[in-house]
Chains A and B, each alone.
Chain A
């Protein structure tokens, strides 16, 4: 079974702090994604990566950056956390980008910024 793990289930940070969210997948997938999920807004793509050191912006990249130094690991960085970044963050991985590929999600990190 595909396993996607995220470094924390719950995280509380203060406004202005730099926040690192880490994601690791064990299926040798080329592609990894970071989404955030908010009530009433559904799932929104922040960034994705299709190869080591390669990244593409999603729909809401502002205030975030990412890093992919190794194939299995994809990190999301909040350079200066703000209260509007309080959300559930979900990492996913997938074998391909085409529409017939599924994505496998981690358990999520619920981040609260105070």
Chain B
């Protein structure tokens, strides 16, 4: 499975933008990049996903490098409710049918200061 590398932790101030990086240098051409987050004592929550182009939704933006070896999740204005563990996941589009499961790594613990 293609692996991702994320910083263990990051800190931000409320109302400021947050850029959460993810490296995936061994990504293949069919891998989708997914982001989930998990708030304390909650189940994971889908945030966003993309393949090649940058993506925006109501929660966040996903910026994907041209070579696809890295991506950045952007929270435009962090709030205290955004404090969570953020997981960057590659879902293999060519894994012979086993691509339905999500595999979370350690993720990035985001702390938001008031």
Contact = CB atoms under 8 A, between A and B. Distances in A.
Interface of A: 4, 31, 33, 35, 37, 42-43, 45, 48, 58-59, 90-92, 94, 97-100, 102-108
Given A43-B103, A59-B101, A97-B99, A102 B43 contact: no
A45 B98 CA distance: 11
A110 B40 CA distance: 13
Q: Pick the most buried of B31, B43, B99, B105: most chain A CB atoms within 10 A of its CB.
A: B43
A98 B49 contact: no
Contacts of B95: 99
Contacts of A97: 99-100
B90 to A, nearest CB: 9
Which 7 residue pairs of A and B lie closest in terms of their CB atoms, listed nearest first?
Answer: A105-B43, A99-B91, A97-B100, A102-B46, A45-B101, A99-B99, A43-B104
A15 B93 CA distance: 41
Given A99-B91, A102-B34, A102-B49, A48 B101 contact: yes
Interface size class of B (residues with CB under 8 A): 20 to 34
A107 B4 CA distance: 25
A43 B101 CA distance: 9
Nearest to B45: A105
Contacts of B46: 102-104
B101 A42 contact: no
Contacts of A100: 32, 49, 51, 91, 93
Main secondary structure of the interface of A (DSSP, over half): strand
Contacts of A90: 43-44
B73 to A, nearest CB: 14
Given A97-B99, A105-B45, A108-B43, A42 B51 contact: no
A94 B102 CA distance: 12
A107 B43 contact: yes
A1 B82 CA distance: 18
A102 B93 CA distance: 13
A43 B102 contact: yes
